[in-house]
Structure formats: C-alpha cells, structure tokens
C-alpha cells in the first residue's frame, strides 16, 4: 500500500494498539502532526517535551502498556532526555519518537539538529535512525517489541523530516527477527533444590522489586509468601506489589526502609530476591548486606545476576513464571511454621514502628499522606516527585493495588510527579489519581497545570510545601552541621493563585485541624484540584541509614 512516511507511522502505531501519545510539535515533525490530526490516535499536547516523556512513562507504569511520546528534532528531542533516562532506569516500556532534520542535512550542524540516537545511547535499550521511508513499519514493529519484551526499556525512533514526507510501499512484518540470546534455560534450574532451601530455611525473607509489578506477578507473590509463611519486604519500585497491610509485609527496606525490614535482612538466613537489582539505596554497605543469608536471585535480566551482589543461586526468568514454577508441588507450611522467626519480626514491628510526632500546632507531612491513604482507601494511583515527600508516601500510603505507585526510583527525577499523573489519568480515566508533590519538584514542571486544565483531568494535586528542598536540607542538617546551602525556596509563588491562574480550583491549608476536611473536599470535587499544605519546614525522614552505612545502623 502506498502512503507517506508519516502515515506509515500512524498506521504502525495503530497496529501496536497505541491510542494516546504525548507530544509537542515542531518543524521536523510537521508531516507527522499532519498525519496525526487525520488519524484516530489521541494526541495530548503538553507544555514542555520533558513532560511528554514523563506523561508517557506515567501512562506506561499505570497501565502496563507501552507509552509513546513525540517531539521535534534538536531541542525538542534533547528535552526528552531526562524523561527517557527516568523511564530507562525504572525499566518502563517507552517508545520515544523524535523528528530529525532532512537526511541531506544530517551531520552538518543544521538548524535544530541534534544526534539524539547518539545522545541517548547510554540511557536507552535501543535506538533507530530511520533513513528510508519503507523501513518505518519494520522499525516501529521492532521498537515496540524491544520496549515491552524481557526487561522493558526505552526505544528511540528518530525520523528525518524527508523520510516522513516521502511516499513508499508500507509493510508491517508479522514477526521480528532479532539475534539469539541466551538465558538460563528452565531445564538447567533445580527447582526442587530451591523449594527445599526455602522450606528448610529458618529465617527466610522475600525481597520483591519492580520486576513483580512489570511481570504482573502480585498474586503469585502473595500466594507464595502465604504458602511458605515467609515475610516480604519490597523495594521502592516494588511497593505496590505486596499489600502494605498484609501480616507478612515488612514494608520497604534500605536507606529509608523500616527498621524491621532492615533488621530482618540482617538476621535472615535465606533471601529470595525477585525482580530487584540491589541498588545502593537498598543495600547500604554492600559488604555487610544480608551477611548471614544465602541469596537466591530471580531476575529476567541475566546481567543483573552478580552485578552488585553474588547470589548463591540464580534464576534468569520472568518473576511471574519463576514464581508459578516454584509453586508447583510446594507443600503448604504448617500453621506453626517459623513461629519463632515471625514472632521475632512481630516484636521488632511493635517496638520499632514507623512513627512521627503529630502536632496540633503545625501540619505534619506524614499526617497528610496518612489521611490521603485513609480517604482513598489505598486505592488511588499516586505519583510523586523526589525527596522527603516521596519517602513519606512510601512509608505512610497503604498501597495494595499493583501499578498504583508512580515514582522515579532509579534516576530520582524531580518534576516527575505532575506529568506522570497526567499520563496515568489518561491511561486510567476511571481511577483516582493523586500527585503528591513537594514545592521544589512541582516547580520543575508546574507549566503542566495548563495540560491538566486543558483536558480537565480530575487529578488531585497535594502539594506538601515546606519551603525547602527538604531532603537536601535534611542531609545538610545531619551531615554538614546544619550549614544550609541553597535549600531555602524563598521566592516560591503563591501556589493557590498559580493554580487558579490556570483555571484550577485550589485551597491552602495552614492549620493541622483542617487537613482532613480539605482532603475530603478535594476528593469530592469533580475536576482538577490543588491543595497546598503548609507543612512543618524542619520535619525529617526517619528512620535513615546514612549513605554507605550498614542496614543495622539506623538513625531516627
């Protein structure tokens, strides 16, 4: 079939099941936008390309589908870079389509030319620079396949303007032809041995990560843990993978993990790590991480095995497949099984709960998060920026639905929360979407209030305003003798008036006793709402393991 390159792109996207793309137009993508306007695919116009990438990322995390963002060449493409890196670090399936200058102008420092495939090489799973129009179908086919398969990631498709303008024959291959890669085959794994080790362990712990969410293995994980009576701790990325209020839940581990999760890791004799990559924020001092435990590492990416810790046993497999296989023929543990270990954990939980000192005088940010959790019943999709408020959400929001926590775990990107919430709301229009933001991160992408207003997205923006870059301030307080350097957010705007200027309904809360009623009001409102909470400016996130410390050495 004859069509232009731009029409081929639209046809290919449709065949991949894409219904929404987030983007921003420009010179090099004029043909694409022309075809887009004539197609059935919905385009969401953001106000900055970075937000397009984050929104596509939020859409992907909330739905499990591949997110798609679109930007023009040069600055449009480079503005995507932070969003691409964010998604890549958290294994989010994303296809980033960029315009490029005409093929005849490539390599000549032409107007709005940037080597985006070169720039993004270290932060993508793969990238394509398409030089022939008839390649568009096959390349898009491969791009989506690569983005969503195995360990998901970002694929950049760079399309020169003339390639999108030209007409050619359209083809869309039914299958992708790619190199043969080796994993550890199912037959090489001694499943019975793994089962026996877990059954026989006296103090086992499961550490579940984002791999569970990506695989959709929450049910298998819960059944597995319950069958064997093994406590479960999760990484930040795995938070929504295991119900926070489950009796076997230890909450999050690591730098800002719960004391009981970290104690359990230090005391465990067996650690079953599923879909985790042993980030430094999780392990603390790697030499003393889980010192008494044999580690069984299950991950779909063979390169994760042995990258940071050397496991005693490794399984290269999708988390869900591995858990299903492990469940086969697994005897249910007796009611008394591991009573000693679970009892010990219970007493740690009772003596070292997550806690903060509530106040009538000043609003405690933890209280706000607790109230959001209570009012939404832990059912909302919650996005955050990065810093103290992110950790408070991790601590005090009672997640029990998968794909309900959107946060930049690996890259730690401020400004992620609002655009991610936009993407999530488009992907899941029936869900309540809450963006819990700090005053610092919010201002990195506050222009997206226009997108919220334009599409009347009923996002509830809860702004925890402490007037500081709180996490940096906390580190300066604890590790730099309180010498505050460039953390005071003096110059903050009037956030209520800012939101109102964009046409949002907004309210400021300064009294502790008004927190609940303000939140109830916000969740009853039909449209977009911003609620600003003037929270305790000097509140810290505790407990905390100082950087590089051992998980046992917690402060606060």
Partner 1 sequence: MRHTVTALVENSPGVLTRVAGLFSRRGFNIDSLAVGVTEDPRISRMTIVVEGSEATLEQLTKQLNKLINVIKVTDLKDSESVARELALVKIAVEPAQRAQITQLVDIFRGKIIDMGRQSVIVELTGDETKVDAFLNLARDFGIKEVVRTGRIAMARGMKSMEYQKEEKQNGQNIL
- What is the separation of C-alpha 145 from the centre of its chain, rounded to a whole number of angstroms? 20
Helix or strand (DSSP H, E) at 273: strand 270-274
- Rounded Cα distance between 161 and 97, Å, is 12
User: To the nearest whole angstrom, how small is the minimum distance from the Cβ of residue 211 to partner 1?
Assistant: 13
- Cα 248–252–257 angle (5° rounding)? 125
**Residue carrying structure tokens 């029990």:** 400
CB nearer to partner 1: give 91 or 465: 91
Strands annotated E in 278-424: 294-299, 313-316, 381-384, 405-406
Select which of 10, 89, 471, 489 is catalytic: 471
User: To the nearest whole angstrom, how small is the minimum distance from the Cβ of residue 457 to partner 1?
Assistant: 31
Clarify whether 112 is annotated catalytic: yes
Residues of span 167-196 touching partner 1 by CB under 8 A:
175-183
- Rounded Cα distance between 227 and 230, Å, is 8
Instruction: Characterize 464-475 residue by residue with b for buried, 16 or more Cβ atoms within 10 angstroms of its Cβ, and e for exposed.
Output: bbbbbbbbbbbb
Select which of 49, 113, 370, 532 is catalytic: 49
| Interaction pattern, residues 317-356, with partner 1; x per rule: CB under 8 A | -x--------------------------------------
User: To the nearest whole angstrom, how small is the minimum distance from the Cβ of residue 148 to partner 1?
Assistant: 8
Figure out which of the listed residues 134, 145, 246, 428 binds partner 1, where binding follows CB under 8 A.
145
Among the listed ranges 143-151, 184-192, 220-228, 404-412, the one in contact with partner 1 (CB under 8 A) is 143-151
Residues of span 263-302 touching partner 1 by CB under 8 A:
300-302
User: To the nearest whole angstrom, how small is the minimum distance from the Cβ of residue 96 to partner 1?
Assistant: 16
User: To the nearest whole angstrom, how small is the minimum distance from the Cβ of residue 291 to partner 1?
Assistant: 19
Q: Running DSSP on this structure, what letter comes out for residue 544?
A: B
Give the count of beta carbons closer than 10 Å to the beta carbon of residue 493. 12
Number of residues located near partner 1, criterion CB under 8 A: 30
Figure out which of the listed residues 117, 388, 465, 476 binds partner 1, where binding follows CB under 8 A.
117
Among the listed ranges 90-98, 117-125, 244-252, 338-346, the one in contact with partner 1 (CB under 8 A) is 117-125
CB nearer to partner 1: give 323 or 531: 323
- Rounded Cα distance between 195 and 554, Å, is 33
How does strand 529-534 pair with strand 460-465?
A: parallel
CB nearer to partner 1: give 130 or 273: 130
- Here the tokens at position 395 are 């601590």
CB nearer to partner 1: give 279 or 301: 301
CB nearer to partner 1: give 122 or 329: 122
How does strand 294-299 pair with strand 405-406?
A: unpaired
Judge if the upstream peptide bond of residue 543 is cis by omega within 30 degrees of 0.
yes
- Rounded Cα distance between 361 and 510, Å, is 10
Would you tell me the crossing angle of helices 388-396 and 365-376 to the nearest 10 degrees?
Answer: 40
User: To the nearest whole angstrom, how small is the minimum distance from the Cβ of residue 316 to partner 1?
Assistant: 8
> Residue 205 in contact with residue 170, Cβ under 8 Å?
no
- Cα 17–19–22 angle (5° rounding)? 125
Among the listed ranges 148-156, 245-253, 430-438, 506-514, the one in contact with partner 1 (CB under 8 A) is 148-156
Select which of 11, 89, 161, 391 is catalytic: 161
Ramachandran area for residue 548 (φ above 0: left; ψ -120 to 50: alpha; else beta): left
User: To the nearest whole angstrom, how small is the minimum distance from the Cβ of residue 277 to partner 1?
Assistant: 13
Which sign, positive or negative, has the C-alpha torsion 85, 91, 92, 94?
A: positive
Figure out which of the listed residues 54, 88, 151, 508 binds partner 1, where binding follows CB under 8 A.
151
First to last CA, the chain: 66
Among the listed ranges 58-66, 125-133, 501-509, 527-535, the one in contact with partner 1 (CB under 8 A) is 125-133
**Residue 146 near partner 1 by CB under 8 A:** yes
Strands annotated E in 197-245: 204-208, 232-234
CB nearer to partner 1: give 101 or 300: 300
Figure out which of the listed residues 37, 45, 121, 538 binds partner 1, where binding follows CB under 8 A.
121
User: To the nearest whole angstrom, how small is the minimum distance from the Cβ of residue 410 to partner 1?
Assistant: 15
Closest by CA position to 321, among listed 403, 205, 220: 220
C-alpha distance from residue 280 to each of 45, 239, 308, 353, 410 (Å): 37, 17, 9, 24, 10
CB nearer to partner 1: give 81 or 354: 81
Select which of 111, 121, 192, 480 is catalytic: 111
- Rounded Cα distance between 60 and 521, Å, is 29
How does strand 270-274 pair with strand 204-208?
A: parallel
User: To the nearest whole angstrom, how small is the minimum distance from the Cβ of residue 85 to partner 1?
Assistant: 13
**DSSP states along 344-380:** HHHHHHHHS-------SSSB-HHHHHHHHHHHHTT-S
Clarify whether 430 is annotated catalytic: no
Clarify whether 121 is annotated catalytic: no
CB nearer to partner 1: give 177 or 485: 177
User: To the nearest whole angstrom, how small is the minimum distance from the Cβ of residue 318 to partner 1?
Assistant: 7
Residues of span 467-526 touching partner 1 by CB under 8 A:
none
Among the listed ranges 144-152, 206-214, 384-392, 507-515, the one in contact with partner 1 (CB under 8 A) is 144-152
Residues in the site for partner 1, rule: CB under 8 A? 117-118, 121-122, 125-126, 129, 145-146, 149-151, 175-183, 300-303, 305-307, 310, 318
- Annotated catalytic residues are 49, 111-112, 161, 471
């Amino acid at each position: 079939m004859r069509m232009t390159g731009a029409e081929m792109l639209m046809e290919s996207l449709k065949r991949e099941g894409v219904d929404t793309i987030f983007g921003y137009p420009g010179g090099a993508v004029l043909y694409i936008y022309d075809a887009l306007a004539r197609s059935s695919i919905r385009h969401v116009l953001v106000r900055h390309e970075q937000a397009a990438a984050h929104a596509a990322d939020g859409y992907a995390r909330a739905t499990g589908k591949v997110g798609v963002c679109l930007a023009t060449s040069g600055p449009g493409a480079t503005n995507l870079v932070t969003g691409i890196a964010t998604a890549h670090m958290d294994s989010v399936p994303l296809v980033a389509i960029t315009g490029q200058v005409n093929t005849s102008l490539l390599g000549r420092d032409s107007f709005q030319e940037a080597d985006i495939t070169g720039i993004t090489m270290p932060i993508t799973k793969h990238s394509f620079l398409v030089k022939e129009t008839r390649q568009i179908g096959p390349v898009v086919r491969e791009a989506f396949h690569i983005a969503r398969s195995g360990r998901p990631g970002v694929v950049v498709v760079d399309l020169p303007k003339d390639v999108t303008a030209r007409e050619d024959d359209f083809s869309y291959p039914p299958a992708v032809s790619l190199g043969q890669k080796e994993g550890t085959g199912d037959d090489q794994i001694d499943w019975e041995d793994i089962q026996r080790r877990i059954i026989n362990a006296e103090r086992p712990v499961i550490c579940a990560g984002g791999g569970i969410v990506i695989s959709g293995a929450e049910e298998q994980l819960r059944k597995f843990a319950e069958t064997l009576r093994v406590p479960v701790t999760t990484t930040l990325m795995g938070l929504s993978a295991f119900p926070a209020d489950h009796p076997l839940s230890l909450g999050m581990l690591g730098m800002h993990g719960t004391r009981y999760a970290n104690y359990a890791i230090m005391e465990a004799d067996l650690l079953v790590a599923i879909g985790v990559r042993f980030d430094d924020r999780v392990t603390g001092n790697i030499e003393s991480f889980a010192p008494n435990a044999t580690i069984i590492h299950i991950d779909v990416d063979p390169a994760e095995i042995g990258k940071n810790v050397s496991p005693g046993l490794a399984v290269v497999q999708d988390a869900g497949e591995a858990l299903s296989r492990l469940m086969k023929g697994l005897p249910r543990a007796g009611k008394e099984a591991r009573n000693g270990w679970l009892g010990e954990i219970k007493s740690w939980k009772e003596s070292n709960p997550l806690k903060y000192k509530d106040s009538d005088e000043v609003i405690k940010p933890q209280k706000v998060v607790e109230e959001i959790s209570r009012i939404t019943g832990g059912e909302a999709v919650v996005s955050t920026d990065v810093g103290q408020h992110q950790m408070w959400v991790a601590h005090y929001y009672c997640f029990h639905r998968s794909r309900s926590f959107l946060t930049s775990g690996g890259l730690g990107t401020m400004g992620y929360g609002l655009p991610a919430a936009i993407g999530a709301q488009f992907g899941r229009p029936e869900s309540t979407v809450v963006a819990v933001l700090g005053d610092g991160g919010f201002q990195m992408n506050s222009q997206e209030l226009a997108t919220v207003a334009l599409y009347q997205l009923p996002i509830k923006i809860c702004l925890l305003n402490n007037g500081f870059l709180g996490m940096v301030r906390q580190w300066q307080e604890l590790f730099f003798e309180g010498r505050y350097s460039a953390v005071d957010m003096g110059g903050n705007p009037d956030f209520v008036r800012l939101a109102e200027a964009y046409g949002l309904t907004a309210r400021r809360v300064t009294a502790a006793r008004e927190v609940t009623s303000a939140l109830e009001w916000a969740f009853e409102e039909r449209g977009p709402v911003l609620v600003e909470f003037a929270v305790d400016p000097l509140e810290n996130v505790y407990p905390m393991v100082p950087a590089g410390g051992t998980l046992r050495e917690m402060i606060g």
